[in-house]
Structures are given as C-alpha cells and as structure tokens.
Structure 1
Amino acid sequence: MKTHIQAINKRLLSLRQALFLFVFFAAATAQAQTKDPMVERILKEANENSQLKMLAHELMDGIGPRLVGTPQMKKAHDWAVAKYQSWGIPARNEKWGEWRGWERGTSHIDMLQPWVKSLEGTQLAWNPSTKSKGVTAEVITLPEVTDSVAFQRWLPSVKGKIVLISMPQATGRPDYNWQEFATKESFDKMKAERTAQTEAWREKMRRIGYNSRELPVALEKAGAVGIVASYWSNGFGVNKIFSAYTKKIPTVDLSLEDYGLLYRLAESGRAPKININTQSKELGVVPAFNTIAEIKGSEKPNEYVILSAHFDSWDGATGATDNGTGTIVMMEAMRILKEVYPNPKRTILVGHWGSEEQGLNGSRAFVADHPEIVNNVQAVFNQDNGTGRVVNISGQGFLHAYDYLGRWLSKVPADIRQHIETSFPGTPGGGGSDYASFVAAGAPAFSLSSLNWSYFNYTWHTNRDTYDKIVFDDVRNNVILTAILAYMASEDPEKSSREKIVMPVNPRTGQQTNWPEQRQPTRRGGLD
C-alpha cells in the first residue's frame, strides 16, 4: 500500500512539474509574442483602410493590359508615379531600354461559309494591322506528308489561303470535369486517344520540318494570307495569348470551340471561309521603363529593403493576376508603411519592373545599372504568381536565410503565418520571376509564392486574367505579410548574410552545379 501511495505521489509530482513547465513556456512564448505596436498599426491600416479594390480597378479596368512598348504600359508607369506622389512617396520612371512600339486595336473574326458566325478570338501581340476590310479567304489545314521535302512541294498551295496550324483538341472539357462525371473506362479511353493524337501531331510536325516559331514565317513567305492558331489552356473558355511571328499577314488565336469547328469543316471538305479584320498601330521605337519609389532610411539610408513586382503583362486580358495583384500588393504595402512607419531605419524601395514577360528585362537592367543598391540589399521580397495568399517561401540557397527570415516572420500574425511553408536553405531560383535577377547577383531575394487558384490553367497569360479573378482577402493577407517583413528587415540590427550553400552535384553529369549566372537584359526588344 505504501509503495502504491509513493507511486501516486511521484506521478503527481511529475504532473506538477509538467504543469509548471507548460506554464513557464507558455509565459515565455507569450512574452516573445508581445504585440508590436508597429505591427498593430500595419494591421489596422490594412484592414480598415484598404485601397486594394480602388488600385485594382484603376489599373486593370481603367488602364488595361500592359504589354511592353504599348501606350498602356507608359500610362501605367505614369499612373503609378502619380499615385505614389499623392501618398507623399517620391517616385520616378527610370528608362532602361527601348522596345518596338505597338498598340492593339479591334479584332473581328467571322466565318462566312458554310454559314455565318462571329468567332471568338484575338490578334496576337505585335502583329501588323490588316486593311480596313480585313482579309477573306478559305481556311485549310496542314497536310499529312512523308517528310520535309514533301512539305516543301505542298507549300505553294497555301497561296491566298488562311492556314490552321494548331492541333485540334480531343475534348473541350478539362480533366477535372471528366473525373467528376465520366466512367473510369470512358475517362481512360479519352486520355489514351488524346495521348495518341498528341504523339501523332508531334510526329506530323517533325516530318513537316518546322517548329512553332518557324512555321508561320514559312507559310507567310509561301503566300498564305493569314494564320490561325489555338493555344488552349486546359480549362473552360481559356486560351493563352502570346506574340505573333508573321510580319505582314494576320495571326490570330481562336477559342478551342471555334478552332475545332473550322478544323472539322476544312477536314471534311466543306471549304470554310473566314474574314479576319485586325486593327493595330505601329508606333516606332519607344522607351521602356521601370517605376521606382522610395521611403528613405533614417539611420542606414544606403542599405535597402526592396519590394518587387513586375508591372507588365501579356495582353489577351488585363493582366489581373499576372501581375496586377503583385503590383497592388507592393503599392499598398508602400502606402501603409509610409502612413505608419514613415522613418524606416533602412531605405525601403519598390521596383515595378518592365518586360518581365520577355525575360526579366527590367529587373535585370536595374541590377546591372545599380550595383551600389544591389550590393547593399538587406532583402528583396517579390510577389508574382497569382492572386492567392502566400503559402511558400524558400531560402533561395542563402545558407543563413532561416536566421533572419525566421526572426522577421515571427512577427507575422499566426493566422497568416500558419499557411506558409518554408524551405531552408533552399536552392537558388534561376528564373521565373524578378527575384531571380537579384539572386543571380548574390543579393538575398525571396519569392512570396502564392496559393494556386487554378492560376496556370485559368489566368496565367490567358484571355481570362481579369479583375473578377482577384481574391481580395488573399491579396490583403499578402499586403500585411509584405509590410511586416519590410518593417522587420528594415529594423533588424544585423545585416542579412549573403553566404551561399555549396551547390549540389548534378546526378546526371556528376558535375557540381553552379550558382545562377547574372544575365544581361534585352535593351532593344522587337526591333530586329
């Protein structure tokens, strides 16, 4: 009995000790998480006086797409400078290069035979204008040939014709729709047929002897009067819209549905005829800019925290999630910081980069032109990939990134921080968005990577990347995260370490991989 009582007492003592330790660590944790007045002010301003919807409306709806070299791109730069100045933040447009000036007009694509229908499509970027009445011609498909010699013999037959150059899709339903409603046997059958069709098309293009960039040029030289493509983005109603390769004849992208209609009619011998009327303007050589704004540091003005987002977009839609959301995140974060933290220890600089879509050109130019800034970067925070809340941050191969990013993230509210997975030290990003321009130069730069929200299928470079796709709760989440990280990075008494990891050995080659190489921007685009 005595032994039993002693055992109970020992268990009670252990429980009391455990309770003491729990209370002790809870108190320590609470003390560590004592509310920071500056963080509280950031939260209050972001939640109670958000300007996000106004900024999004003015940029996406009011100005529209921001293709480099267009008047809308310049209008956006000027708008941003004026907006920053209205908030008391000095801002400027900084020229870094020149680009082919071009302005999109209207696109009208109509089927005239065998029956009349207006088709859903648009002219590709930097394509020349048609005459006022457009061009009307029969539509034909690419032939089945044995080799490139046979294709060259066929080429003269395109004279006076409009040529369909994309593979028709096996289905207009995305896979998730099949998964929800089809039988397994039907779904598997469709996928097998689609795979076989795709492989057959690739083999057909191999025999033709031209890649996707070369083929439109060859058809134009052979006398075709128009090119029709369809770059389906694997979702209902979405196509990706990029640039044209033809110099004199129209190149248009059609919806999956209308492209498939034309293709089936042409293949069955119905000789469909369409009219393409695309209006655009050539504007010569125009300057290309970055927009830069700064809140000057009070103690270490020559050290920099950089907020980063590319400003340009493709122009199939208004570039709302690529990268309108990243743009307004950085603008709103700067507005809030100016309001509640007007005298940062380090200079907080925001860069809205031009021509990211053609190869990170604006940020690469800034890195090349401003070594005095890049060499004194405390941190770069870049946001690009869509409207969703940030869910991933990598250390980008900086060996001690955990130490300082961990300190800075500790002040972020738990309801935001809990969604974020981190990977340290990570590996350096060689491309993808503008943070990579800084990483290549050895500056600690981090991608605030977002939740997907079907980004790659539905909004990335598509004709549906519009204001209505923005999830403003998630964007406000990212504003708060960015503003707090900028504040913490500015206040940190320590300079962030730039020590890099030892790069791993490539298992395929047996050679050690290299840190990404700093690349020079294209400073004269589309002018050759």
Structure 2
Amino acid sequence: MLKAKSRRKIKTRMNTRFILTGFAACLSLSPSAQTRLSDEVAYRIKNEAFANSKIEETSQWFTDFLGPRLAASKNGQRAEALVKEKLAETGLDNARQEFAVGFAKGGWNNEKTYIALTAPYYTAFAATPKAWSGSTAGQVKGAAVLLEAEKAEDLEKYKGNLEGKIVVLPAATTYTINFEPLASRLTDERLAELATDPRPQSRTGAARPGGNRALPGAFQLRDTLAKLFQEEKPLAVLAGSGAFNVPSSQGVQYTAGSPEPVPEINIPIEDQGRLVRLLKKDIPVELELDIRNTFFPADTLIHNIIAEIPGTDPKLKNEIVLIGAHLDSWHGGTGGADNASGCIVMLEAMRIIKSLDISPRRTIRIALWGGEEHGLYGSRGYAQNLLYDRTEKKKQPGYDKFVLYLNMDNGSGRFRGIYLEENDMAVPFFQTWKVPFESLGFSTLSLRRTGSTDHVSFSGLGLPAFQFIQDPLEYGRTYHTLMDTYERLTLDDLRVNAALVAWFALNAATDDARIPVKPGALENLPPAR
C-alpha cells in the first residue's frame, strides 16, 4: 500500500468528466493524484441500494423460483432463458445467451432419488446422486458390500462378486467435533494479514499437507474403479460426502454418448460410517433404492448470459467494464450461496446504476457464467473467444478494450476488501475508490492471489480481474450441499456488496485512466485446455 506522501507524487492524466442524466456531479480528488466520483454519487448509490433494495425479491427469484442450475441440465437451460429475460426486464441492453464452449459431458437430469436401509432395521437416508451417473431399474433391493482398496491391485478380489450388490465405498473422512463457531466474520487480525504482501513466498507454492504426490495413484484407482463397476454392474455405489447428515453434490467422469454409468450416490458421512461399521462387524446390511436420471447427449454447449449498460463517450464506449458471477450450480439445494448470491449482487448493481440514470463513459457489462463448477467453462470460453486465443497465441479485439473485471463467488458474506492478484498498479485506484465505503467495512487491499473461480480466466492473461475478500459466514459448511438454499443468503450483506460493485464499476467506467495490464503476462502462456 502506498504512503500518502508517495501518492501525492504520482503523475496522472486524469481530468475525469462523466454524463449524468438529471444532475451534474464533479469528481472528488483524494489525497493522492488518483480521482474518484463525488461523494454525492456515492450517497445516491447507497441510498438506492439500502432504501429501495430489490435484493430480497431477487434472492427468492434466483433460488426458490429458478431452483438448481446444473450445467447443461434442462433446469439449467430453463434458468438461462429466464435470466436473460430478467436482464432485459431490468432495462439492460442487448440481453443475450452467448456461446462459450463445448461441453463433452452433455446434459443430465435427476428425476427421482430414494434410498433406505432395510436390514438390520429400516431408516431412510438423505442422498444426492452423483451427476452424470446412471439409474436403477426402478426400485431395487440388495445386500451391501464394503469395498476396500488402496491401489488398483486390491480390486482383483472383487471381480465376479459385485453383480446385484450395493457397493459401499470406505470412509475417506470421519466427523470430528469442531469447537469453532459454525459461522464467522473476518477478524481485524485476519484482514491485517491479508493486507500484507506475501511475495516472494506466494511464488514458492507452499503445498497442502500431502501435496499432489498422491494424485496420480488416486486417479489410476478412480479410473480402475469406474471400469470395474461398468464390468461388474452392481446395483449402485454409495460414497460418503457431506456432514451434519446432509449429502453434498459431485459428478462422475462421463462423455456424452458413452454407456450409462452405474448409479453412484452420495450419502452423508454419518450414514456411510454407520454402514461401514456394521459391515466390518459382519452384520448383514440390505438397502433399497430408486434412482432415476436422464441423459441428453445432444446438449453439449455451455453459454453465458450477458447484458450491458452502453457507454456514451464516443472514444471510450467500446471499452468494457465487466462484472460477473457464475450462474450454474450443483443439483442439490438451489445454489443459494454458490452462486446465486453473486448473480443477485451483480444484477442489483446494474439495477442501481440504471435507476440513477447514470450514463457511463465506458460500457458496463454483466456476465453470468455457465459451467463454472466443472472447470470455469463459461469464463474461459469468453476469454478464448473475445480476449486472447491461446491456441493461436494472439490477442482478440477485446483484449485491449478490457478495463476491469469484478467477480463474486465466496458465498453471501460482506465484502471486506479485494484480492488484487499481485497487480501493484491497481492499488492507487482502489485506495482512492474505496474511501466512501470504508465505513461499511470495506478496507483491505490484498496483493495476494486467490483462485478457483472465474476471475482467473482473465487474471491469467494479465488483465485486471479481481475477486472480493468476503466474510466466510457458514459458506464452508453449506456450499455444494442440500443446505445451499435461500436461507444461506445474508441479505444485508448482499445489499452492501451490490452498492460496492455499482460504485467500483461506475468509477472504472468513468475514469480517464485504466488499471494497467501486468507487463509481460502473455509471454509463455500455456495453450488453452
């Protein structure tokens, strides 16, 4: 973070003006040479966000009405069409469904899920079928078999013994009581830690415990297991995933048009643990289940849903300030915190800007990405198609017109700052822009990198693309599970977040200057996956 004395020496070309319908406003000069929109504009954004908020009704619409939004599923396609209409109804221009990339898995829908223990006694289990796994032949009943293997060779003993059985995979994790609160906000100490530049340590790549050294063996075992199940044809395979008796959502490896896989079902680790303990004591276990899934092999496309507030400056209107979040979710729950929350905030930010009749100099574009949960398909396709062709190693026309991308995908917690991806040139911009919102808890500028969501599709190209630092709340316990519903949304935090996105997007769309691209970022890029 730059000291005040140094900031005063920064040269600037900024004498920013912008067009406002209904009122005129001047730019506010901060103690640095960087500029921002006036405090009056900040006030009007806050007032619209807090006094006239649409967050609650939009939150219910994205969760209760749209439901789960698995990539390429029929309900995911329904959601895309409805969201496109919603963007148009909000008054945004050129609302569209835009092709991003092919999706080899194809479409898949879960239509029925039932599973119960029937011996040594009856109890129904909560369960979520793994996406792109197959169906049972109606309601079936069978004996459970515990499969234990650490390497591929251990599977030999199961050949010829699994047909007509229900395979229970061994427990990978067990529940341990945790005395930490279920929900939390970032402490001042943690925010101070995030504000500390971690370089050069961040480039040494500190590995997680165990590292990735075990991955090749794990992948080999997974592939061998899949082949074994396809040959042996057990009735189903049960895995443990998700705690507090709530299963989580996952998918299996599958390519559209391939033979339908064996049904695979996630049950909570508590239920899986019960089955494993019974089987290890040689107590006969029987289960019945009825799983119905449907495949749509022709649905092999990922789309993004996009709309704009057009820029008005003849010289700058083709430059793009991009805000976004991923629209797709897993099929359990309704994808509330992950990531209806981000879509809600981005749509509300655009509504706020439109409601104030502010005409930005640059175009502000909202993009709700498809296929994020399976590998950032939507944002990677956008980057490949419009910004930089990794195969040909050449810029697309949109690269030099890319101004900023703001992403939300860490649950519904309040924005406490922003990860600036080691882009030192972004610091003076956000240092100045954030001032009117510091009283709402937004204070931390972190030069750390963060991953696993859509901003990396752009920051990897050196472009200024950033993910917000958010209060975790209860995100780690509930995302990708049946619990991820409307109830996971913290509406007041979403109101604050929408105001912040509207403010930052307007500043970026109005400023004479732009956050620079990282020098040399396009050199030695790996080819597109």
2:168 corresponds, among 139, 164, 167, to 164
CA distance 1:473–1:149, change in 2 (3 Å): closer
Partner Cα separation in structure 2 for residue 331 and residue 93 of structure 1 = 16
> More relative contact order in 1 or in 2 (CA 8 Å, sep 6+)?
2
Letter in 2 for 1:136: K
CA–CA distance in structure 2, aligned partners of residues 451 and 177 of structure 1: 13
CA distance in 2, matches of 1:516, 1:263: 49
Opposite residue 274 of structure 1, the aligned amino acid is L
CA distance in 1, matches of 2:36, 2:429: 17
1:130 and 1:339, CA in 2 relative to 1: closer, same or farther beyond 3 A?
Answer: same
* AA aligned opposite 1:421: T
Q: Quick one: which amino acid aligns to residue 151 of structure 1?
A: L
Cα 1:515/1:241, change in 2 over 3 Å: farther
- Pairing of 1:116-515 with structure 2 (within 5 A): 116-133=122-139, 135-143=140-148, 148-149=152-153, 151-167=155-171, 170-171=174-175, 173-174=177-178, 176=180, 211-212=221-222, 214-232=224-242, 235-245=243-253, 247-286=260-299, 287-299=301-313, 300-371=316-387, 372-410=397-435, 412-416=436-440, 418-424=441-447, 426-427=448-449, 429=450, 431-456=451-476, 458-500=477-519
Question: What is the DSSP-based 3-state SS (H/G/I as helix, E as strand, rest coil) of the residue aligned with 2:350?
Answer: helix
Q: Is contact 1:168-1:263 (8 Å) kept?
A: no
After TM superposition, the structure 1 = structure 2 runs for residues 57-136 of structure 1, keeping only pairs within 5 Å, are 57-90=60-93, 91-99=95-103, 100-133=106-139, 135-136=140-141
Q: Deviations over 1:164-193 (max 9, x none)?
A: 113175546445489xxxxxxxxxxxxxxx
Gaps of 5+ in 1: 1-26, 179-197, 504-513, 522-528
Distance 2:438 2:138 in 1: 59
Structure 1 position 341, deviation (Å) = 4.0
Letter in 2 for 1:322: D
Report the aligned-residue RMSD. 3.0
Higher alpha-carbon deviation: 246-255 or 380-389: 246-255
Distance 1:475 1:374 in 2: 30
CA distance, structure 1, for counterparts of residue 497 and residue 506 of structure 2: 14
SS at match of 1:302: coil
Instruction: Report the AA paired with residue 69 of structure 2.
Output: R
Gaps of 5+ in 2: 1-28, 183-208, 255-259, 388-396
For 2:171 and 2:496, how far apart are their aligned partners in 1? 41
SS of equivalent to 2:308: strand
- Which residue type is aligned with residue 259 of structure 1? Q
Taking the aligned partners of 2:352 and 2:154, their CA distance within structure 1 comes to 65
> Helix, strand or coil: the match of 1:156?
coil
Distance in 2 of aligned mates of 1:404 and 1:93: 32
CA contact (8 A) 1:98 1:288 kept: yes
Q: Distance in 2 between matches of 1:119 and 1:468?
A: 22
Distance (whole Å) between structure 2 residues aligned to residue 255 and residue 452 of structure 1: 23
State the Cα distance separating 1:75 from its structure 2 match: 1.5
Give 3-state SS (helix, strand or coil) of 1:400's partner. Answer: helix
SS in 2 for 1:322: helix
1:98, CA displacement in angstroms?
Answer: 3.8
Q: Residue by residue, what CA displacement relative to the aligned partner does 1:17-73 show, whole Å, maximum 9, x if unpaired?
A: xxxxxxxxxx998xx999622222211111111111111111111111111011111
- Greater fraction of residues in helix: 1
Query: Aligned partner of 1:467: which letter?
Result: Y
Does the aligned pair in 2 maintain the 1:168–1:260 contact within 8 Å?
Answer: no
On the 8 A contact 2:170/2:276 being kept in 1, the answer is no
Q: Report the alpha carbon displacement of residue 162 of structure 1 after superposing the two structures with TM.
A: 1.0
In structure 1, C-alpha distance between the alignment counterparts of 2:413 and 2:231, rounded to whole Å: 45
Structure 1 67/170 Cα, relative in aligned 2: closer, same or farther at 3 Å?
closer
**2: CA distance between counterparts of 1:53 and 1:104?**
29
1:260-281 C-alpha deviation (Å, 9 max, x unpaired): 2222222222211111211121
Percent identical:
27
Structure-1 residue corresponding to 2:202: none
Inter-partner Cα distance in structure 1 for 2:489 and 2:155: 46
Q: Give the partner amino acid of 1:455.
A: Y
State the Cα distance separating 1:217 from its structure 2 match. Answer: 3.5
> 5 Å matches for 1:41-56?
41-56=44-59
**1:368 aligned counterpart, secondary structure:** helix
Q: Contact 1:166–1:231 (CA<8 Å) still a contact in 2? A: no
Give 1:359 deviation, angstroms: 1.0
TM-score (norm 2): 0.78
Say whether the 8 Å CA contact 1:393–1:423 is kept in structure 2. yes
- The answer on whether the counterparts of 1:408 and 1:489 sit within 8 Å (CA) in structure 2 is no
Q: How has the CA–CA distance of structure 1 residues 245 and 117 changed in structure 2, closer, same or farther, with 3 Å as cutoff?
A: farther
* Matched length: 449
- Please state whether the residue corresponding to 2:382 is helix, strand or coil: helix
Letter in 1 for 2:125: L
Pairwise CA distance, 1:124: 1.1
Aligned residue identity for 1:334 = M
Q: Normalised by the size of structure 1, how large is the TM-score?
A: 0.78
CA offset at residue 466 of structure 1?
Answer: 1.1
3-state SS of paired residue (2:298):
strand
Q: CA deviation at 1:283?
A: 1.9
The answer as to whether partners of 1:156 and 1:223 remain within 8 angstroms in 2 is no
Structure 1 contact 172–236 (Cα < 8 Å) conserved: no
Instruction: For residues 56-98 of structure 1, give each alpha carbon's deviation from its aligned partner in whole angstroms, at most 9, with x where no partner exists.
Output: 1111111111110111111211122111111211210112234
